[in-house]
Amino acid sequence: MRKFFTPLLFAAVSVAACSDNDSVPGVITLPEPPIDGQTVFRYDTYGDEVFWTDVLRFNEVVATISPETALAVGLKVDADAVPADVLANADLTDPATTVALLGLDAVVGIKADVAADGTVTRFGITCALCHSDVDDSVAPGIGVRLDGWPAKDLDPGLIISLSPFFDDKPAMRAQLQSWGPGMYDPYWNLDGISDPVVIAPAYGLKDVPLETYTGEGPVSYWNAYVAITQMGGQGTFVEPALNIEIHADPDLVTPKLPALLAYQESLDSPVPPLESYDMEAAERGKVLFDGKAGCSGCHSGDQFTDAGTTLHEAHEIGADPLYATRTITKKYRTTPLRALWQHPPYYHNGEFETLRDVVEHYDLVRNLGLADDEKSDLEEYLKSL
């Protein structure tokens, strides 16, 4: 078994660290303060600077990137972290401004250490990078944080490909650059297959039994998987089915998972604006959803999913089977329906641009025989969820 997967590498390295836990005579050890889930979600790197700095050298990369470029690849700026007068006068074409924003902890999902001379010495990422947005209240990409919202504009593959690590790996760089905004492949560094999926929201998770597209495990299982095998966090994760055995001492991930989950479960799905759908059509659509269209057979219960009891073969839902074959379950979970108005495209691989496309797909796959007006009503109901 691999002792440690350094994300994007295909080599085993050790992450065990020496620690001295012996008590010191005469020294009173105070209890650790409770772990704050919001802080973990927004700011905790789990020690992944080892990867992003020492391997990918992103501390060097960011020093060459202007805020204008960073915003163009989907990075966001937390306006609350920057004094208003500073933000108003910032030169968004100057890489030095990027460094200054990093020093203020203002770039969502990124933590960096900046020396007095403006040198970025350490660089790491957090959960918020892929699972947060901003409200654009100051400018596009600059505003108040929206925790849990999927980073639809973020282009992780392109960003990662900027690392000097890939200078002599053109094929890998090309794969990364092919993913596109809002897409990420959480198995690419394990099997070398490039088959990215849509970055999912991290809100509306309360009482959702299985969060991933293929239902590998509960939310904390996936939090650990991503933090350790994708972000490069220093933690312990063992999954024999994927030939993963990672051990870290100290484990900077596992103790934080309960608080992280509690915060995620506190994030409610955003309510669709009333003007975003036709209310009367949505009411007719609900009747179709529960009746003729048969959607509620799988999208059941308060969370609109049967994932707690059932996973589905790809052919049952007309899905591309490739992604599922790379996972533990080999099947797909019924996606909970939450804030659908907010995060197109749809399906795990984003093959459907609109909810109407989804309705048309199921009408064909399930041979529903829906009339055009029924399809429209069903679409409006989906927009209302």
Single-letter residue type at 167: D
* Alpha helix positions (H), the chain: 37-43, 49-52, 58-61, 67-72, 84-88, 95-103, 156-161, 170-177, 188-191, 219-225, 257-266, 279-290, 314-317, 322-325, 355-365, 372-384
Residue from 152, 151, 195, 150 nearest 176 by CA? 195
pLDDT in tens, 4-52: 334 444 333 334 333 444 445 566 666 667 789 999 999 999 999 999 9
Distances (CA, A) of 29 to 86, 254, 256: 42, 22, 20
Residue from 160, 43, 64, 65 nearest 113 by CA? 43
pLDDT in tens, 314-330: 999 999 999 999 999 99
User: Hey, where are the domains in the chain?
Assistant: 15-20+34-266, 274-384
Task: State the CATH class of domain 274-384.
Answer: mainly alpha
- Among 4-13, 235-244, 256-265, 339-348, the minimum mean pLDDT is found in 4-13
Q: Whole-model pTM?
A: 0.90
Q: What is the DSSP letter of 230?
A: I
Band (122; pLDDT cuts 50, 70, 90): very high
d(CA 145, CA 104): 15
For tokens 């080599």, name the residue: 11
pLDDT in tens, 150-187: 999 999 999 999 999 999 999 999 999 999 999 999 99
> CB-hemisphere CA count at 13 Å for 373?
3
d(CA 3, CA 8): 15
The tokens for 53 are 């700095």
pLDDT in tens, 213-255: 999 999 999 999 999 999 999 999 999 999 999 999 999 999 9
